Structure 1
Amino acid sequence: MDLPGVPSSVLEALQAAARSLGIPRLALVGGVVRDQMLHQRYGRVWSGVPDLDWVVEGDAAALVAELDRRLGSKRISCVQEHGAFGTVAFQLDGIPLDLATARQEHYPAPAENPVVRVGTLQADLARRDFTINAMALDLVTGELIDLHHGQEDLASGQFRFLHAGSVQDDPTRAIRAARYAARLGFQLAQESSEQIRSTVHQWPWAWGHGDAALTAPPALASRLRMELERLLEREPWPQALDLLEQWQALLLLDPQLQQDPGRMQRLHWAQRLGLPLMPALLMGAADPVAVAQRLQIPGRQQQWLQQCVALCDWLVKTPPPLEATPSIWSTALEQQGWPPEAVALAVTLRPKQWKPLLRWWGRWRTIQAPQTARELIAAGWQPGPGIGEELRRQRSAAQDRSR
């Protein structure tokens, strides 16, 4: 086995420890197997290995203990054991590794968290999402294990779900599909994209449709948020979101987001203004605050959405005239208490007042009076409310000169 950037001594140490314990399977799994094959067989650029995920048919914690016995603390460090199944994270010669005992799972109900128990490597691979992610390199035997024809899909530049119930079991796999398709430039197999469409439309728990919304599993909401965050922060999101729209998978979030012509404009403006993309995406929902609460996005971002909704309502009802001076716009916005992020979020919607909003966000709010209170007192002003009024007057004049 050859992994770019991973010393052979690391692999040899793992192999020797596994054989000494009689472990039948110690397999490298996940995206690194896929990416190694894309690199070696098809010339894809190797992007490095952030971590190495291994599945053990046996006791993962016992294997790490054997490594520590053989190699000592100079080579084995940062050992952390997690979960009932003995998942162990550690470093070997400074290389981050994750070992997990092989497991199998089943979903007691659509979109619920799975029930997991100890299993075989074959059962563990069947838990995966796509054929191209369900391959393994067995360090004990040197065998490439490909039970779901992932190599064929790599060769054809496509990928597919492992079985017909994949999306029903875990609807977040639709978002993951868009992430991989955008990153790798692959096509989702036709039957898999149809699985997304049919499953989403058959949901008995579709949010936003009366009492059925009450049956949406809370665990699903947090998983959707995490997948969306990965998509928006790490992937070519314009392509990924277009694919989700094409597959009608944005219905997972909100029906109005599935038909959202302003999405790309909002997100590009949000990126330009340095805003997180999640609230800008959700501003296209029928009720952005309700969707944000359901997905449990960070509290500050929920507040920005609430404030932006209120700001947009204010812009319709009682804003200053469009041609009003910078000081009038600044005073009006600041009296309402809108934070800069909420104003910037409103800019992404491009209301007719977007230019004064953008100018306040980018320039007017940072302008200060040319004198300080201390300087006014030194010039003979008496301490009191008059100083505050003079500072406000000077600031307004400076703002108006900035036009």
Structure 2
Amino acid sequence: MADVLAELEEVPGGAHLRRAAAACAAPAYLVGGAVRDLLLGRPPRELDVAVEGDPEPLIAAIGGDVERHERFGTAVVRGDGWCVDVARCRRETYAHPGALPDVSPADVRSDLQRRDATINAIAVGLADGAVVAAPHAEADLRAGLLRVLHDASFLDDPTRLWRLARYRARLGFELEPHTAALAAQAVSGGALTTISGVRTGNELRLALREDDPVAALRSVAKLGLAPWLEVDVERIAAARALAPADARGDLVTLAAALGPETDGARLQDLGFPGAERDAVLRALEVRAGRHRPAGARPSEIARAFRGLPGEAVALAPEEDRAAARRWLDELRHVRLEVDGDDLLTAGVARGPEVGARLRAVLDAVLDGEVAPERSAQLAAALADDPVAHRKDRRAEP
């Protein structure tokens, strides 16, 4: 396997971290996913450091912007293009299943025992490269196995089930047989009900941010962690392909993967803010065929999709995808050269008639019945009855 410290020197912030650690007396270790990824020859997603003793001198030596999380005694230090998570080595105890842990200072070996899987329970001394590892850790990494460190792991912290599902998808590893049995027992025994909806939602959001979120969600579904998911790979792929560049890919994927019965209460319980809930719920409406164009005319397509976020239109069913593509690529960008003030100035009474006239003219512009020039649009908007005028135009031979 790779020389972790040599590889660390090539990682943004890695050489700086080593110099900072060398200036501090307390032993500091690179731990967790960073060690795992470097040993696998993969770029680490983050740099995690555990310190035996007071971490403050190391935090000061690293410099940068510091964000502290006092409850767990951790800090995130950010610099130019790098980020380091620093924590004091600790042990964790749980007052009851699913509780947030109570922490107390410990040595690095005890710190490794609190981790979610053996492959994340390897520490490398930043000063000398000394390796400290939990039992099975290095062998499991070579074998591609995900193993928990003790039998109560999923009961203490059921979010570990979600994390192992993500590792399984990201790394291509498999659950070690005893761990797989423990996972099945935890799920069937209701372990996931002991954590809040927001904590579950946080894990879901992490899965959606994976490089391959579909693989992550399939892994989650395979473990039975989210029965409200319906991971249809073809539907998700179609929605992601249709989504415009300004759409949130994570919300498109989520809307395509949720069961059709999902409602706002479920999304609120998972901690999604209002705007995100609205986008996903509108997407589910589109997916269910509630916003279908009445015909192929541009104005009919616009009336079906106008006002919907791009994330929602991306969920158009197969028979409406061509229309949805036309809306997203072309029609939604069409704008009038006149506005309500122009109509008021011309004598139209303030009220809903102003909006109705503008909508009628926009439909006419979309259908090619009114020229795009401002003068033509204003004349059409000021016609005695713009809607009837459009009908008459369409009836002409």
Q: Does the pair score TM above 0.5?
A: yes
The separation in 1 between residues aligned to 2:293 and 2:130, in whole angstroms, is 72
Residue of structure 1 aligned with 2:250, choices 274, 277, 288: 277
Is the alpha carbon distance of 1:356 and 1:136 closer, same or farther for their aligned partners in structure 2, counting shifts above 3 Å? same
> 1: CA distance between counterparts of 2:191 and 2:223?
19
| Whole-Å separation in 2 of the counterparts to 1:84 and 1:341 | 39
TM-score normalised to structure 1 length? 0.73
Task: Tell me if the contact between 2:32 and 2:48 (Cα under 8 Å) persists in the aligned partners.
Answer: yes
Shift of residue 297, structure 1, vs aligned partner: 1.2
> 1:25-36 to 2 correspondence within 5 Å?
25-36=27-38
Equivalent AA in structure 2 for residue 364 of structure 1: L
Distance in 1 between the 2:318 and 2:20 partners?
62
1:97-136, Cα deviation, whole Å (9 max, x unpaired): 4331111112222222122222222221111111110000
Contact between 1:28 and 1:54, CA under 8 Å: does it hold in 2? yes
Alignment of 1:200-279 (within 5 A): 200-203=187-190, 206=193, 216-218=194-196, 221-251=197-227, 254=228, 257=229, 260=230, 262=232, 264-266=234-236, 268-270=238-240, 272-273=242-243, 274-278=247-251, 279=254
Alpha-carbon shift at residue 308 of structure 1 (Å): 4.5
Aligned to 1:209: none
What RMSD in Å do the two structures reach over aligned CA positions? 3.7
Q: 1:53-111, CA deviations, whole angstroms, 9 ceiling, x for partnerless residues?
A: 2212211124546x4xxxxxxx7443555415543444799964433111111222222
The aligned residue for residue 339 of structure 1 is 308
| Higher mean C-alpha deviation, range 319-328 or range 162-171 | 319-328
**How much does 1:203 deviate?**
0.7
Aligned to 1:38: 40
Secondary structure of the residue aligned to 2:367 is helix
User: Which of 124, 144, 165 is the equivalent residue of 2:111?
Assistant: 124
Partner secondary structure for residue 302 of structure 1: helix
Q: Provide the secondary structure at the position in 2 that maps to 1:249.
A: coil
Give per-residue Cα distances to partners, 1:343-367, cap 9 Å, x unaligned. Answer: 41541xx175555455444433333
Report if the CA contact (8 A) 2:98-2:195 is conserved. Answer: yes
Q: Hey, what's the Cα distance between the residues in 1 that align with 2:107 and 2:277?
A: 43
Q: Is the 8 A contact 1:111 1:217 kept in 2?
A: yes
* Cα shift at 1:238: 2.3
Q: Which residue of 2 aligns with 1:384?
A: 348
* TM-score, normalisation: structure 2: 0.74
Long gaps (5+) in structure 1: 40-45, 68-74, 207-215
Q: Deviation at 1:310?
A: 5.8
Whether the 8 Å contact between 1:85 and 1:118 is mirrored in structure 2 is: no
Alpha-carbon distance change, 388 to 126 in structure 1, aligned in 2, over 3 angstroms = closer
Residue number in structure 2 paired with 1:197: 184
Change (3 A) 1:89 1:398: closer
**Inter-CA distance 360–135: structure 2 relative to 1 (3 Å threshold):** same
Find the residue that maps to 2:226 and give its secondary structure: helix
Structure 1 CA distance for aligned equivalents of residues 358 and 71 of structure 2: 63
Contact between 2:33 and 2:46, CA under 8 Å: does it hold in 1? no
Partner residue in 2 for 1:72: none
Residue 170 in 1 paired to residue 157 in 2?
Answer: yes
